[in-house]
């Protein structure tokens, strides 16, 4: 049976989860799907692990010689997708058994242009055995207040114990996340749909807003779930990527571009909230600060983080230039391994493909 879906696996914010999770993601997708893995500048030994994975599973492996924002990594894969659906999956999630077929079936039965699972998380408030809801759909729209356009988004049931709020049936929703989402490829190829300038976030808002504006629907199917392996510490191998992903510089580019793209109020409260969440909460909010010593330790960590961020940004600019990219655009992706399904139309010695 011909594959209906290409599964695209990208690094969300860290490299090290890949050896723990990617094999299981692909095993549980089933044998019918095509697979593309995008390696955005992973260090050794993760780079070698990607090579071994590609050879063992005969998948399409693309590599760019610098860190990539998730939006850039997804863009690198899109020129190679020819299937009806594209399933984007982050490298730091645990998918439920046989996850792909129910998402395809939900799209068939509802006509949805995008379908997602129930999103769960553990740390800092839950565990793999007692997960919390990361998102059970939600609201994603633009509203007008006093003549100004504002973003109105809400992640339904965030941090509620999953056992208390697991939906019983699939439902239409305004919001899905790129942790895992199945999208009709025809829509993804429409002009202006995939925006590489959304580096730190708001990419899921952008996708859902554009899909709704084009007349499509998003659905969530809770018969499928994922567990987001949120980090409680950052490995040295992940530090540069993590700092870039949530840096104030990338955040400013992302939010400024999103506001301009959707003609929002420059003083939209969503921007201040997002900058706080990315700049403090994502990095330091989970660290206790109830005693003078803990507050001092967190202050020192914040100072160290600011140094790591500056170094990561400088290193990223240098690596992008060396690889043939720029501050604005990622370098072209090179094909590291070509699977059997792609041999007729792509060669392992082909010219690198632009990621934008």
Domain ranges in the chain? 5-233+331-342, 236-323
pLDDT, residue 348, reads 46
Report pLDDT for 349: 45
5-233+331-342, which class in CATH? Answer: alpha beta
For residues 282 and 271, the model is more confident at 271
The whole-angstrom separation of Cα 278 and Cα 300 is 18
pLDDT in tens, 294-326: 999 999 999 999 999 999 999 999 999 999 999
- The pLDDT assigned to 347 comes to 58
* pLDDT at residue 353, as a whole number: 59
Q: Are 177 and 121 in contact (CB under 8 A)?
A: no
Q: What pLDDT, in 10s, does the model give residues 78-90?
A: 999 999 999 999 9
Q: Are 20 and 46 in contact (CB under 8 A)?
A: no
Of residues 17 and 285, more confidently modeled = 17
Residue 330 and residue 68 in contact, taking contact as beta carbons nearer than 8 Å: yes
Q: For residue range 194-214, what is the model confidence (pLDDT) as tens digits? A: 999 999 999 999 999 999 999
Query: Dmax over Cα atoms in the chain, in whole Å?
Result: 64
CB under 8 Å to 18, separation ≥6 — which residues?
9, 11, 42, 46, 49, 50, 91
State how far the Cα of 315 lies from the Cα of 311, in Å rounded to an integer.
6
- What is the structure's pLDDT at 351? 57
Band of pLDDT at residue 354, cut at 50, 70 and 90: low
Alpha-helical (H) ranges within 14-81 are 17-29, 46-57, 70-77
| Residue 213 phi, psi dihedral angles, 5° rounding | -65, -30
**Is the model's pLDDT at 264 over the cut of 70?**
yes
Q: Please give the mean pLDDT across all residues of the chain.
A: 95
356 pLDDT tier (thresholds 50, 70, 90): very low
Average of pLDDT values for 262-271? 97
Q: Please name every residue paired with 135 in a beta bridge, in sequence order, or none if there are none.
A: 119
- Contact 188/206 with Cβ under 8 angstroms? no
């Amino acid at each position: 049976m011909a594959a209906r879906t290409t599964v695209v696996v990208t690094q969300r914010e860290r490299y090290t989860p890949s050896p723990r999770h990617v094999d299981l993601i692909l095993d549980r997708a089933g044998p019918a799907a095509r697979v593309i893995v995008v390696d955005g500048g992973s260090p050794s030994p993760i780079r070698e692990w990607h090579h071994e994975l590609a050879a063992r599973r005969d998948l399409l492996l693309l590599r760019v010689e610098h860190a990539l924002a998730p939006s850039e990594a997804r863009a690198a894969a899109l020129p190679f997708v020819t299937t009806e659906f594209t399933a984007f999956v982050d490298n730091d999630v645990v998918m439920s058994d046989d996850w792909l077929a129910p998402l395809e079936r939900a799209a068939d039965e509802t006509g949805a242009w995008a379908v997602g699972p129930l999103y769960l998380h553990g740390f800092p408030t839950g565990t793999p055995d007692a997960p919390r809801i990361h998102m059970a759909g939600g609201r994603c729209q633009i509203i007008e207040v006093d003549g100004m356009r504002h973003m109105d988004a809400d992640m339904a049931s965030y941090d509620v114990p999953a056992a208390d709020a697991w939906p019983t049936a699939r439902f239409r929703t305004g919001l899905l996340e790129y942790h895992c989402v199945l999208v009709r490829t025809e829509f993804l190829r429409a002009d202006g749909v995939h925006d590489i300038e959304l580096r730190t976030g708001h990419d899921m808002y952008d996708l859902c807003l554009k899909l709704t504006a084009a007349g499509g629907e998003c659905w969530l199917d809770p018969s499928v779930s994922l567990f987001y392996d949120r980090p409680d510490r950052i490995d040295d191998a992940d530090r540069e990527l993590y700092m870039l992903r949530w840096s104030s510089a990338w955040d400013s580019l992302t939010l400024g571009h999103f506001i301009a793209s959707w003609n929002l109020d420059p003083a939209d409260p969503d921007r201040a909230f997002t900058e706080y969440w990315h700049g403090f909460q994502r990095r330091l909010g989970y660290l206790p600060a109830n005693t003078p010593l803990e507050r001092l330790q967190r202050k020192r960590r914040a100072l160290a983080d600011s140094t790591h961020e500056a170094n990561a940004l400088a290193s990223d600019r240098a690596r992008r230039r060396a690889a043939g990219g720029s501050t604005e655009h990622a370098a072209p992706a090179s094909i590291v391994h070509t699977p059997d399904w792609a041999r007729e139309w792509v060669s392992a010695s082909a010219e690198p493909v632009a990621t934008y």
